[in-house]
Amino acid sequence: MKKLTGLLIVVLLAVVGLYIGSIQLDRSQGITGNNTLNLYNWGDYIDPDLLTQFEEETGYHVVYETFDSNEAMYTKVQQGGTAYDLAVPSEYMVERMRDEELLIEIDHSKIEGLDHLVPKFLDQPFDPDNQYSIPYFWGTLGIVYNENLVDGDEMNTWADLWDPQYEESILLIDGAREVIGLALQKNGYSLNSTSDAELAVATKDLNALADNVKAVVADEIKMYMIQEEAAIAVTFSGEAADMMWENEAIKYILPEEGSNLWFDNFVIPQTAQNIDAAYAFINFMLDPEIAAQNADYIGYSTPNQSAMELLPEETIADEQFYPGEEKIGNLEVYEDLGPKYLGIYNDLFLEFKMQ
């Protein structure tokens, strides 16, 4: 018994020693609870130089962690194991997190630079008056194709993807909302449909599309298209911009039937421990020069009107990436479908991928 007690004391002392050592190490590196910003963002979704600049200008240390889907981000924030000060969910997830009281209401008196944002991108239905979110980037879902492999005159709609000549030629983004949504819009339905009959039609069409699908992938789409291992892909506008930069034969279109208009946004989770740092970072990213540098690096569209004026004219003039009012009017924002239909979409998508 004495030996067991002695062993427990040794283990306890070792744990305490490691804990104290980790705290001292963090302090030696300038990392403490008061000067650390825990940022949870999508992968490769900010210019790394800007993180360094923010640290140098403010004295905050940024701990940067990434996620690959809104659902993965939601689960981790909901579990509360890590006290993220800022996260970057998309519009429908902002709505869900707001409704589940996972977000802190934003104090607009602490925000500097809202006047730089395009008014039409504020006060969206998923977050009226921007009570819980501040726009970060926006973009669309569309079709990229290699003009050396595909006749551009024959690629204008979602329906064109079903052409038999594209057998095993298409890469699809690995996302239930995106893939089910394009099949819905092909038939003139809303990509937020909760009609079982409409979903049945979309599912039947997806089954017919299977022969044309080379693979369902995520980040690999960019590499495969650049290296011309596929002729066509369904992907996001920013990814398309990167592909076009690396391979001039790649083109991007918004299908005529309509598509998704998405917004990624800064939010402050309820578990945040350094709200001052969160506001400091939001204000930093709202600065037009910072926003322009970030948009140029990432390739997605900035909601910052003042930043747009600093970007190359050819970038802003490209209606595939900065569509005008008519095209935007034909785009649709994802809504929170609720657990029942989110589960249905995921199940239908899984069945499609297993073919």
What pLDDT, on the 0 to 100 scale, is given for residue 309? 95
Whether 6 shows a pLDDT value over 50: the answer reads: no
Work out the widest C-alpha separation in the chain, in whole angstroms.
84
Q: What is the pairing mode between strands 170-173 and 232-236?
A: parallel
Average pLDDT for 285-305? 96
Closest CA to 277 of 51, 62, 40: 62
Q: H-type helices in the chain, by residue range? A: 2-28, 48-58, 70-79, 91-99, 176-186, 196-209, 220-226, 237-246, 275-286, 288-298, 305-308, 313-317, 325-328, 338-353
Average pLDDT for 38-50? 96
Per the CB < 8 A criterion, the answer to whether 255 and 142 are in contact is yes
Q: H-type helices in 80-219, by residue range? A: 91-99, 176-186, 196-209
Lowest mean pLDDT among 95-109, 311-325, 329-343: 311-325
Distance between CA atoms of residues 133 and 114, nearest Å: 11
Distance between CA atoms of residues 53 and 318, nearest Å: 30
In CATH terms, are 29-137+263-317 and 139-261+323-353 the same topology? yes
For residue 158, the one-letter residue type is W
For residue 33, the one-letter residue type is G
What residue segments make up the domains of the chain, in order of their start? 1-28, 29-137+263-317, 139-261+323-353
Residue with tokens 């299908």, as numbered in its chain: 255
Average pLDDT for 2-26? 41
Over the stretch 161-207, which tens digit does the pLDDT of each residue have?
999 999 999 999 999 999 999 999 999 999 999 999 999 999 999 99
Q: CATH fold of 29-137+263-317, please?
A: D-Maltodextrin-Binding Protein; domain 2 (3.40.190)
What pLDDT, on the 0 to 100 scale, is given for residue 27? 36
**DSSP state for residue 354 in the 8-state scheme:** T
Over the stretch 212-263, which tens digit does the pLDDT of each residue have?
999 999 889 999 999 999 999 999 998 999 999 999 999 999 999 999 999 9
Q: H or E element: which one contains 59?
A: none
In which band, very low, low, confident or very high, does the pLDDT at 2 lie, cut at 50, 70 and 90? very low
Whether 16 shows a pLDDT value over 80: the answer reads: no
Over the stretch 138-154, which tens digit does the pLDDT of each residue have?
999 999 999 999 999 99
Distance between CA atoms of residues 49 and 59, nearest Å: 15
Burial of 226 (0-12, 13-18, 19+ CB in 10 A): middle
Whether 337 shows a pLDDT value over 50: the answer reads: yes
Architecture of domain 139-261+323-353: 3-Layer(aba) Sandwich (3.40)
Distance between CA atoms of residues 14 and 16, nearest Å: 5
What pLDDT, on the 0 to 100 scale, is given for residue 33? 55
Per the CB < 8 A criterion, the answer to whether 301 and 59 are in contact is no
Average pLDDT for 114-138? 96
DSSP string for residues in 236-258: EHHHHHHHHHH-TTEEEE--TT-
Closest CA to 43 of 344, 310, 264: 264
Q: Average per-residue pLDDT in the chain? A: 90
Two structure tokens written together for 240: 């398309």
Please state the pTM of the whole predicted model. Answer: 0.82
